[in-house]
Structure 1
């Protein structure tokens, strides 16, 4: 819920409108009650016009704020269209979740609402009720207007910076790094026994023949998994649960997403199968789009989209692709310092009860370089940056991380050999691949650097 609200444009402006209505009703009442108790030195700084002047000021504020809000919203929509068409549709969450944009819209709408609410309290005295000018309330409206003018200038400056592709990639990198820091610890205490028994190279357990298939309850992208609910269901049923779809995967209602089987050789009690299936379906949350809540690969997906879009014939911007690969390299190097592969949830006896699939380095590396290598096969700068990415990954990774790097290096050499490069370009790329090969050999022989 918190992640969904964070990525929407409406919650903060709505809160601003509500607060503006409350202030627009409460401040004039305080004005009317304490108007005669205001010290003379303070009155000199408050609005000093009559009722007609107050009405004119509030009407001008309300009218101008409608125009400014429409301009701000139009610029925001234009930025979203630019990010979607030129870079990646998956970057839209970066803009809709931008607190600066949300705060600016909230300020404009709140000022407009406040001015209209206060306007209804200004009385000229023609109705027989006596004239009334809420000095403090009108002064607050003026201050909000000045804040809105400053906010508009800062918003335009912020927008001009945000639509730069370098800023977008930096924002994606920062968000992905926060996700990695939050989800993947540097070290994880292994449970007693052999919790990795049966884990394949793909990172999955091998379900026994008597395993119960767990199906998805709703269709959409897997956004999060309630680990506590799954662990509780597994303990109550004395079972082991496997969710073999990682966050970001697309689920379809009624299709398999995992399995459950008894921890002992005894079959499940009557009704346990249905309870496990229901609990697993409720614990897995789906959405209409991918998020970075539990999706470690989402940041790499966005950076790869930017690189692929930059390498399209309609854009033809290999420099942006190279920069995107640089950000991907930094994230991959950080991932080598983290615990990758399946996530194991243990009960109080330190026995494995739930296995959650998570991508390994081989999958993440393929996500980062496969499309740039395919679409940038004819661009030496892109292939050269891929080679440097492999060298950086080989240098920071452990011996267990070297086989995926070697596999991609073999693919890179085949891609280079298939292209008709100038001899000087081919020589440079060959030297880079040889440098990666020497780094791999050195790391195998000497292990990690101190």
Structure 2
């Protein structure tokens, strides 16, 4: 689709043609909607937009959509007065380039000064951040940018902070409203960083997990995210792990309500401290995560203690499976008559390659013998290794029906 020229605007039309050719040479083809949007602009403004897109197309996920949306919001050129724009004069290094500001206003001197300061400190704003600032009144955009410049050393991603703050609804402090930092019920910068770090590992958590994290104080949510990020290869379902851990009652590694340091791979993030039944003087300092978890469960008043033989059985499977098995035992503890049998049955199934599905409370997960009766699965019960030989022989010869839920 060719650009439609206006009479007497030959120079501007030539600049547009040059811009379109630059895009074509860069391998970018604009769709009809983008061309229509450009046709709605004066030629010199369209040329300015094309120069910007040509120089930044590698950073734009969809150049055509960027042009269409920017024009629809009200494109304001960097240069006013309608002066002809020399081809190539527009530079992507200009931080306010193609900044979509409200249609009734040009960027103020204060905003230009702040953009210059941003360049001086080496802070480059993304297109999303520039668009977000352009959607604010100029005094609010200046206030937000000034705050970010003051705190840029503490912000991991200033551009993301600007975009997310505007998306949540920026309120000016100068007007007596809420301050710029996110409100307490919104994800903090640290939590947003934790979610981004988890996403970079290829893990996407579901909405239930995000809702569970939202119920925690930001420092606790960050600690949980750090643990999951560092241990995601051992977690069969990170989303379910987060949801179930929060539902049980997440206890940070550090007590006293102070912000918890990221676990950085610490093995026990998310688990409660040792129970009252474990005296610190009787517990070695080099306690393994599995040993600590067993001690915690034994302090919770299960129908029977997890014995040493059952602990050894847990060591026969990968650690993540052992931990998930103990999580399931904790969730179902009230309805499991023999935790040792439950654990050893699960380990036996895993070793036979039959898989294991403990499931959350109410899921009906169990270890089935392969037949049903009266709508209830017959569950194979394995003897605890610590039981006497005679009792073990009797239990091995029979199936025991057990109502799980």
Given the two structures, how large is their TM-score scaled by the length of structure 1? 0.19
Task: Using CA pairs under 8 Å that are at least 6 residues apart, name the structure with larger relative contact order, 1 or 2.
Answer: 1
Given the two structures, how large is their TM-score scaled by the length of structure 2? 0.20
The structure carrying a bigger helix percent of its residues is 1
